[in-house]
Amino acid sequence: PIPTVYYNILDKYNKIIFAEENLTGQYRIAMFGNQTLNKISGVNKMGKMIDPEEIVLKFKELVRETRTKEMGGVNSEQ
């Protein structure tokens, strides 16, 4: 079981990145089941450690996506 306090903490954020050293996102699935939540993203890798730069790249990707949506679908980096 997942302590309720974890969900209370996660509810405070618009975007959440789970870094898991497995390919299927097992902890995400344990917490949220198979439901698709737009605020949840993952960085997964098997057999090697996740490089911090991979998490940073995922963060930048989410920021770009959010800005694009806020601008009505226009990518500000083009």
For residue range 7-66, what is the model confidence (pLDDT) as tens digits?
Answer: 899 899 988 999 999 998 898 888 888 776 788 899 999 999 999 999 999 999 999 998
The Cα–Cα gap between 14 and 3 comes to: 20
What total of structural domains would you count in the chain?
1
Domain-embedded: residue 77: no
Domain-embedded: residue 24: yes
Domain-embedded: residue 65: yes
The Cα–Cα gap between 41 and 15 comes to: 8
Q: List the domain range (segments joined by +) for residue 34.
A: 4-70
* 3-class SS of residue 20: strand
0.95 surpassed by pTM:
no
Give 3-state DSSP helix, strand, coil % of the chain, rounded to 5: 40, 15, 45
Domain-embedded: residue 76: no
For the stretch 15-31, pLDDT in tens is 899 999 999 889 888 88
